[in-house]
Structure 1
Amino acid sequence: MTGLISLNWLIGDQALSDHILARVNELVDQGTEYKHACTTVTDGADAGEAWAIAATRQTWERRPDTDEDDAPIHRLYVLERTGNTVVVADLDLDADPDAHSTLGLPPRGQHLGDEAEGAVIDVDLLNLYDLTAWEPFEHLLPTAAVPAAGTTGVGE
């Protein structure tokens, strides 16, 4: 799922706005002019680039055209994003623990089977995956509007 319209439908305009603003602020903190940072982040998010859209509480699924050797884990769940890295867990462990493989991951990601800790990988590795679900923290609030679920968040 890519594109700002799809992301807005998936998580709502407030959560998407908060996410984009956080990415913009990161670029501004690194010395990028605000206007250029806004354009860079919105263009990246609209193109579905992982550096622009990767966040905590997301599910990513390996793209059909991606070689299994390049991305050995079929479905990843982002436990945490910190700068240019994400901590991910293997969502397929419960379905088939024997299918788990970390052979293609960098040395930091070799403990991916440890669900308590996850594995730290570069955010760019997510470019081999498609974003399939995103549950921002705002969705935990009783007043949250969740477009994909058909809720308005008010009085429900």
Structure 2
Amino acid sequence: MTGLASLTWLIGTQALSDHILARVNELVEAGTEYAEACAKVTDAADASEAWAIAATRQTWVRRHDVDPDEMPVRSLYVLERTATHVVVAYTDVDQAADDTDDGDRANLQPQWIAQNDHSQGAEYPFDALDMSFELAAWEPFEHLLPTAAVPAAGTTGVGE
């Protein structure tokens, strides 16, 4: 999923606007001019760069061009976002890569076993998301409200 139009459809104008404004404010607080920060964040969000769009309650899936032997995790769920990274939990590890979940017989590489803990998660840098994953789903808190109108599958959600 790429582009601001796709993100708008996925979570709605208000939620996306709030998210982008938060990223702009982070850059402004770090010393970037407001107009430059706006351009940088919107360009990055339109290009689906993780530092601009990664957020809590997102699911990221392994890109089709990534070798499963190099990245056995098929999907990640973002538990928390900070200014420098996300905290993720593995949600779908290839069976061939991890047939015992953890322990001495796990086929998962040792540096990845901690991220298979769904209760705590592990820090994941934005560039690691960009290298191997793409955004698949985003469930902003607004969608949990009983009055939220979420577009039906196969529609644009605009004027329908």
TM-score bucket of the superposed structures, by smaller chain: 0.7 to 0.9
- For structure 1, list consecutive stretches of 5 or more residues without a partner in the other structure: none
Q: Which moved more, 1:117-126 or 1:139-148?
A: 139-148
Is the radius of gyration larger for structure 1 or structure 2? 2
1:50 and 1:123 in contact (8 A); partners too:
yes
- Over 3 Å counting, the alpha-carbon distance change for 1:148 and 1:70 in structure 2 is farther
Where does 1:39-118 land on structure 2 (aligned, <5 Å)? 39-92=39-92, 96=95, 98=99, 102-103=108-109, 107=111, 110-118=113-121
What is the match of residue 20 of structure 1?
Answer: 20
Matched AA of 1:82:
T
1:106-139 Cα shifts (integer Å, max 9, x gaps): x4x5411211001111121111211110001121
C-alpha change, 1:70 and 1:122, in structure 2 (3 Å) is farther
Identical-pair percentage: 62
Tell which deviates more after alignment, 60-69 or 132-141.
Answer: 60-69
Aligned mates of 1:63, 1:143 — CA distance in 2: 34
For residues 17-68 of structure 1, give each alpha carbon's deviation from its aligned partner in whole angstroms, at most 9, with x where no partner exists.
0000000000001000000000000000000111110000000000011233
* TM superposition shift of 1:69: 4.8
| TM-score, structure 1 as length reference | 0.84
Q: Superposition RMSD on alpha carbons, in Å?
A: 2.3
> Residue 126 of structure 1 aligns to which amino acid in structure 2?
L
Could you list the runs of 4 or more consecutive aligned residues of structure 1 that deviate by over 4 angstroms after TM superposition? 99-102
**Distance change >3 Å, CA 71–CA 99, structure 1 → 2:** farther
